[in-house]
RNA sequence: GCGGAUGUGGUGGAACUGGCAGACACGCUGGAUUUAGGUUCCAGUGGGUAAUUCCGUGGGGGUUCGAGUCCCUUCAUCCGCACCA
């Protein structure tokens, strides 16, 4: 017998076997329940890292477990293949993004194959391939057709050094992710998706997702940021203009002592013109423009502003109110203008004190200050309305309703709901992305490309200049085109789409990946969607998951899908850490999966990563831990080796009779392990405890094999059960061991074992006896003893008698099967 | 500042509904096998104590016959959002 099992030959052997026999290829099968198991598809950076291994190992346990439980399992893999790194590589090393990307995919795919994950590779897709992005463009056209894709001028993140716009997620702490230059804002015409139309549904339907972690739902709720309030207009004194404000506190409208516009608000220039303040206002607005996003919006930046020289009239009482501009009001939230009530809003309060503006109390509770001048801070709690004319005496809640009702009646304003969620900016001035299928015609304006003309191909023969500007701008054969409508001269849109667009529907495409007329057939998605289990990192809690939900709802509304939520259950896996921090090149603490697989094999790598920590939690990498997992697999190897010959020809009895002693205990353990492993995988995703249960079974088997007399049926059942239970975690070694036990078929094709309730019946159990809550003795008792008998037995123990001498028993608590607690004084 | 999570042996972690804290591993100690190292196997391993036993789940308080688990309070670390009117 070999000292160590030979994973180097076993693993490729079974990987080839699975591939040759199309083990993981699936088709729709109405006769079996479906299960769609999906891990977030990776960006092809070139190399697999431990986070990937963890993600796919978790997914594979689920896929193999469900498959052995009779489900028709869809488990696909693909590539999120557009994106900035490919272009950076092109600029830096001169490699074409396409070549760079496809080479990376090749490399990562071969690494992935050495892990032995049960993917249906026939469904592989790459978002950068024309047969895929054709339909990303199709999605754009459908959204455009329905008024959900539009172009508008917007302030976007601009890196002055790279000479390009950046996505929000490419701005880290106010600086460019690539060169660390502070980012500023620039006004550019950009494409948006109108995700805000779906804000309410995206919020409400979170309640339809009990299979999602609360953490993620809370993050999405906050991101959507719904707030109820009112919106009303104020006449600007001496002008025909009005300004509109949004407030969540209509009840404090009589406490307004000044108004504030965001510096970028379009009214700022008009109303300050010709006033003595004009110059100061211009100066302030300019200064704000030069500030970076981070400096401008950080909470600890001091509030500052200037008077515009103009006043507005409070529609409730006709009061003249000065209009200011200030850094703390944001142009893109609400109406970009606020009513300031310093007595009841801390931000307004700080500003008012700094500039000597009045503070007027309009909400009063018994313990709140009545006088604005002596207030130390704003009073934001509940109370009743004062100094508010007819509304005096109303509570905050009632006041809100009645002030809004009054405004509606008088045509001053109305109740409104505001969302923090903004429309999704999808334009990127980048080459390596999905082209936006629109053209600009000199005659007809903005015209969508006809569906029949898709895909708009990304030209391959392009030049990369270090300026970072999109090469599409230089490629005449690309941008020079004809108008789809009038046939006249037109220019193609050279912006490409945010890669999040590509990843917002890839899970649908997996259902029907080779369809060349539609993104997917209705039949295919009706069978497979929604995804039953989605697995990936928390970093996508908001963006990717929200965008995918938005796309799904849109496709549902258009009747392309029958479900309106894409992911029924979501598992967010923790990070893989080394020495307490995230693995990174700069820290030099990266452990390469390739190396681990070479040294210990994929089965060990998978087992360790699943054993070291439950999936949601961060995982501390330990080289010694890996060694331990490897030792365990070797122990299993030896266990099976040493008895395979003895059990090979044994056939299991249809029923195990009354067993005694060790054999009985072993059979108990076998079935207890089936139950434990099944529950841990299915109910809790606690793979670490499932594996530890298998370890216990193997430990018991090792001991059992030392006995002279063995019940070979019980032994066979235990050994084979262990192999089957271990197979979703470490499939290759289990295939080999299964074969060693004399089986011709694959362990992957076995049904998941069922536990036999009869085997779990014990006739004796240990009971703890407590005196006043402290364990003082333990006794073995027959199961099924009555509570009274149990109590009598406990009291009769000599040790307990001794302890109770001279004391009075106050009370006895009996927990059958667990303990007896005797309370004595 | 707001929101969320996590604090258990030397380490990773277990304890699922309030019921024997530390399963399973790693590490360490001792022993066996081996010329030796490695491998493998056996035994021990929360802390204090000579010992009956006492103390122990970040700290403090509470509820309970009984608390890692429930309640209040406090500290530390990590993550997300951050002037959202």
Domain ranges of chain A: 7-127+503-595, 141-194+423-499, 227-418, 622-760, 764-824
Q: Which CATH architecture has domain A227-418?
A: Alpha-Beta Complex (3.90)
CATH number of A764-824: 3.10.20.590
A748-782 burial by CB neighbour count: b if 16+ within 10 A, else e?
A: bebebbebbeebeeeeeeebebbbeeeebbebebe
What pLDDT, on the 0 to 100 scale, is given for residue A178? 66
- Find which nucleotide's C1' atom is closest to A822's CA: B65
Kindly list the averaged pLDDT for each block of 10 residues, start to end, along chain A of length 825.
Answer: 79 97 96 97 94 96 97 98 89 89 96 97 98 98 97 82 69 70 81 95 95 94 94 94 95 97 94 94 90 69 92 96 95 93 95 95 90 90 94 95 96 95 90 96 93 94 76 89 90 94 98 97 97 93 94 98 97 90 83 94 96 94 94 95 92 85 92 96 94 96 89 95 98 97 96 94 85 84 85 86 82 86 86
Q: So what's the pLDDT on residue A1?
A: 41
Nucleotide whose C1' lies closest to the alpha carbon of residue A3: B39
DSSP A211: B
CA dist A797 and A814 (Å) reads 15
Q: Closest CA to B40 C1' — which residue?
A: A3
Whether the upstream peptide bond of residue A530 has omega within 30° of 0, thus cis, is yes
Pairing of strands A531-537, A34-39: parallel
Instruction: Supply the pLDDT for residue A367.
Output: 81
- What is the secondary structure of A644-687 as a DSSP string? HHHHTT----SS-----HHHHHHHHHHHHHHHHHHHIIIII--H
Q: Which nucleotide is nearest to A581 (CA to C1')?
A: B78
Integer distance in angstroms from CA A64 to C1' B77?
37
A689 CA from B46 C1′ (Å): 22
Q: Superfamily assignment of A7-127+503-595 in CATH?
A: HUPs (3.40.50.620)
Q: Are A180 and A531 in contact (CB under 8 A)?
A: no
Smallest CA–C1' separation from A574, nucleotide: B79
Chain B: positions less than 7 Å from a protein CB are: 1, 3-5, 11-16, 19-21, 23-27, 38-42, 53-54, 65-67, 79-85
Q: What SS3 class is residue A777? A: strand
Please give the pLDDT value at position A487: 87
Burial class (CB in 10 A: 0-12, 13-18, 19+), A442: exposed
Has the ipTM of the complex gone over 0.90? yes
CA of A304: nucleotide with nearest C1': B83
Strands of A503-590, DSSP E: 531-537, 567-573, 576-578, 581-582
Q: Determine the pLDDT at residue A766.
A: 84
Helix (H, G, I), strand (E, B) or coil at A739: helix
- CA A535 / C1′ B77 distance in Å: 26
Phi, psi of A379 (to 5 degrees): -100, 105
Q: What is the pLDDT of residue A802?
A: 82
pLDDT of residue A433: 96
**Which pLDDT score is estimated for A522?**
97
CA–C1' A572–B77 (A): 21
Q: Which nucleotide is nearest to A683 (CA to C1')?
A: B16
Q: From the DSSP assignment, how many helices (H) and strands (E) are in chain A? A: 26, 35
Report pLDDT for A216.
95
With distances taken from each CA to the C1' atom of nucleotide B15, the closest residue turns out to be A689
Q: Which residue is nearest to nucleotide B77 (CA to C1')?
A: A580
Beta strands at A242-247 and A320-326: parallel, antiparallel or unpaired? unpaired
A764 forms bridges with which residues in the sheet?
Answer: A782
Amino acid A238 CA to nucleotide B36 C1' distance, rounded Å: 101
Q: Spell out the residues 6+ positions from residue A640 whose beta carbon is closer than 8 angstroms to its own.
A: A719, A723, A737, A740, A741
The CATH code belonging to domain A622-760 is 1.10.730.10
């Amino acid at each position: 017998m070999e000292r160590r099992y030979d994973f180097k030959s076993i693993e490729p052997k079974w990987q080839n076997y699975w591939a040759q026999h199309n083990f993981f290829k699936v088709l729709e099968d109405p006769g079996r329940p479906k299960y769609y198991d999906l891990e977030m598809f990776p960006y092809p950076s070139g190399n697999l890292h431990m986070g990937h291994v963890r993600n796919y190992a978790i997914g594979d346990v689920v896929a193999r477990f469900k498959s052995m439980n009779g489900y028709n399992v869809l488990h696909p893999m693909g590539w999120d293949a557009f994106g900035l790194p490919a272009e950076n590589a092109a600029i830096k090393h001169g490699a074409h993004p396409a070549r760079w990307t496809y080479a990376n995919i090749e490399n990562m795919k071969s690494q992935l194959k050495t892990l032995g994950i049960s993917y249906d590779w026939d469904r592989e897709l790459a978002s950068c391939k024309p047969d895929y992005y054709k339909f990303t463009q199709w999605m754009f056209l459908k959204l455009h057709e329905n008024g959900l894709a539009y172009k508008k001028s917007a302030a976007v993140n601009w890196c002055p050094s790279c000479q390009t716009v950046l996505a929000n997620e490419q701005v880290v702490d106010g600086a460019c992710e690539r060169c660390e230059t502070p980012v500023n804002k620039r006004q550019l015409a950009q494409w948006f998706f109108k995700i805000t139309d779906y804000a309410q549904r995206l919020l409400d339907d979170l309640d339809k997702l009990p299979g999602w972690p609360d953490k993620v739902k809370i993050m999405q709720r906050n991101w959507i940021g719904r707030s109820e309030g009112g919106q009303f207009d104020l006449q600007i004194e001496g002008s025909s203009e009005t300004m509109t404000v949004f407030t969540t506190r209509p009840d404090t409208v009589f406490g307004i002592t000044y108004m504030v516009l965001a510096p970028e608000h379009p009214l700022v220039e008009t109303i300050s013109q010709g006033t003595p303040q004009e110059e100061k206002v211009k100066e302030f607005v300019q200064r704000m423009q030069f500030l970076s996003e981070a400096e401008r919006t950080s909470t600890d930046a001091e509030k500052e502003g200037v008077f515009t020289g103009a006043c507005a009239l409070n529609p409730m009482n006709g009061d003249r109110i000065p209009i200011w501009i200030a850094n703390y009001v944001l142009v893109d939230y609400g109406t970009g203008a606020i009513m300031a009530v310093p007595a009841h809003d801390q931000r307004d309060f700080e500003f008012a004190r700094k500039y000597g503006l009045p503070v007027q109390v309009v909400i009063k509770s018994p313990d709140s200050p009545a006088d604005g001048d002596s207030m130390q801070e704003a009073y934001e709690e509940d109370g009743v309305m004062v100094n508010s004319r007819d509304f005096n005496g109303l509570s905050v809640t009632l006041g809100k309703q009645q002030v809004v009702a009054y405004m509606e009646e008088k045509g001053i304003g109305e109740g409104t709901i505001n969302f923090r969620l903004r429309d999704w900016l999808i334009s990127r001035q980048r080459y390596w992305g999905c082209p936006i299928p629109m053209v600009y015609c000199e005659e007809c304006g903005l015209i969508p490309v006809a569906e029949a003309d898709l895909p708009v191909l990304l030209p391959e023969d392009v030049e990369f200049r270090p300026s970072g500007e999109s090469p599409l701008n230089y490629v005449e054969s690309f941008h020079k085109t004809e108008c789809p409508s009038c046939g006249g001269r037109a220019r193609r849109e050279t912006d490409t789409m945010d890669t999040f667009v590509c990843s917002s529907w890839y899970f649908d495409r997996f259902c029907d990946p080779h369809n060349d007329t539609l993104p997917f057939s209705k039949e295919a998605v009706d069978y497979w969607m929604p995804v039953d289990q989605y697995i990936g990192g928390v970093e996508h809690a908001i963006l990717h998951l929200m965008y995918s939900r938005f796309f799904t709802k849109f496709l549902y509304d258009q009747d392309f899908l029958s479900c309106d939520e894409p992911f029924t259950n979501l598992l967010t896996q923790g990070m893989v850490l080394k020495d307490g921090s995230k693995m990174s090149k700069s820290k030099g603490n990266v452990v390469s999966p390739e190396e681990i697989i070479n040294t210990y094999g994929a089965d060990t790598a998978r087992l360790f990563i699943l054993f070291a920590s439950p999936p949601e939690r961060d995982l501390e990498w330990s080289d010694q831990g890996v060694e331990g997992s490897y030792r365990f697999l070797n122990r299993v190897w030896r266990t099976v080796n040493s008895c395979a010959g003895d059990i090979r020809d044994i056939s299991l009895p249809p029923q195990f009779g009354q067993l005694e002693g060790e054999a009985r205990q072993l059979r108990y353990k076998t079935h207890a392990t089936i139950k434990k492993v099944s529950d841990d995988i299915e109910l809790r995703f606690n793979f670490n405890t499932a594996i530890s249960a298998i370890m216990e079974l193997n430990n018991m088997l090792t001991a059992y094999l030392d006995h002279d007399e063995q019940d070979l049926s019980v032994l066979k059942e235990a050994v084979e059960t262990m192999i089957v239970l271990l197979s979703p975690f470490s499939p290759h070694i289990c295939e080999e061991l299964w074969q060693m036990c004399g089986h011709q078929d694959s362990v992957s094709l076995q049904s998941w074992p069922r536990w036999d309730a009869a085997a779990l019946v014990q006739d004796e159990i240990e009971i703890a006896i407590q005196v006043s809550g402290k364990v003082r003795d333990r006794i073995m008792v027959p199961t099924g003893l009555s509570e009274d008998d149990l109590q009598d037995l406990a009291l009769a123990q000599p040790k307990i008698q001794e302890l109770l001498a001279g004391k009075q028993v106050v009370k006895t608590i009996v927990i059958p099967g667990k303990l007896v607690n005797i309370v004595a004084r």
